Amino acid sequence: MRILLVMDPGILVPPKGYGGHERLVYMFAREYQKRGHEVHLLVTSGSEVAGCVVHPFGKEGFPPRKWDARLAIPTAWYFLWKHRNDFDLIHNFGRLAYLLPILNHPIKKIMTYGREISSRNIRVINRLPLRNLIYTGCSNDLISRVNAGGKWETVYNSIPFDQYSLQASVSEEAPLIFLGRLERIKGCHTAIAVAKATHHQLIIAGNISRLPEEIDYFENEIKPHIDGNQIIYIGEVNDEQKNEWLGKSKAMLMPIEWNEPFGIVMIEAMACGTPVIGYRKGSVPEVVDENITGYVVDNPDQMITAIGNISHINRSRCRARAKERFDIEVVAQTYLSLFKNQV
């Protein structure tokens, strides 16, 4: 089978740093290729994926310049129309608008969403003649907020579990960890308060947002608590560092204040055997298996109680359960099954 994966230009595949969807595109490209499929990518110029054919598409630079972003749509249209008979499956992680020229073409199409979805855009597309188009969202919670019709399937995000190391046990003195962008909606201030209330060390890892209000948030509500002893900020971490810090932590705290579509960091922690304690928002109740991979809570007091119970969770079982659900091999097969079952 010949598969084309599409992603908005701007960030290289694989990404050198930040790039959530670009990481997914890279993983699925490699997994599809490993399964014997011929894989092509329409992605940012300069991208390289071993064993796959890359079709350069736009310049590196995030956020992309306005002109580059506008030019991406007609460029994608031209490519997809020109090659409309060359592929068996188009798996699009970029803009829905890219698919306009081939909406009514028999080629099978999967449109994958990992962030908030515009119901208006979906409604417009669904009024047009179209064939063989499946929409996927990365959580039931995300899809529940769409009111636009169409054929929808939930397919969770994924990671390659073989790149993460199980830490089967940690000491009683092991730290808690918060990993994510330092924005108010991510809840780092709550993680700090909970760590102090339970007398735990807290490792904070993640980048500081460039938005003025989030810089103020960091300076006024996070930085004053960083003492290098109990509350430690280690900055943005790469994959190797992430594996190390998650593995040595007692639990990962995720006191989010928004309906996050899917926090990949949750399954990264679980892959190291580290349970997740998260607020009952967004995809958290879908991702966390209660008493197996962590706890779902509603407020700081419940989070404090959950930390006291964290030793009841078997870290090896935590990783095994998460791998059954979120490993790249499992999720890639889910996408390929959607292709096979399309009528």
Give residue limits of the domains in the chain.
Answer: 2-158+327-341, 162-325
What does the pLDDT look like over 229-238, one tens digit per residue? Answer: 999 999 999 8
What does the pLDDT look like over 205-220, one tens digit per residue? Answer: 999 988 999 999 999 9
Residue-level pLDDT at 286: 97
Residue-level pLDDT at 178: 98
d(CA 31, CA 204): 32
Kindly tell me the burial class for residue 36, based on how many C-beta atoms sit within 10 Å of its own C-beta (0-12, 13-18, 19 or more): exposed
Mention the CATH class of domain 162-325: alpha beta
Q: Are 138 and 282 in contact (CB under 8 A)?
A: no
State whether CATH 3.40.50.2000 applies to domain 2-158+327-341: yes
The residue ranges of the chain whose pLDDT is under 70 are 17-19, 342-343
Residue-level pLDDT at 18: 61
CA triple 307-308-313, angle to 5 deg: 75
Residue-level pLDDT at 101: 96
What does the pLDDT look like over 307-316, one tens digit per residue? Answer: 999 999 999 9
Domain 162-325 in the same topology as domain 2-158+327-341: yes
Residue 294 zone, left/alpha/beta (φ > 0; ψ -120 to 50; rest): left
Strand, helix or coil at 45? coil
Residue-level pLDDT at 341: 76
DSSP 290: B
Kindly tell me the burial class for residue 343, based on how many C-beta atoms sit within 10 Å of its own C-beta (0-12, 13-18, 19 or more): exposed
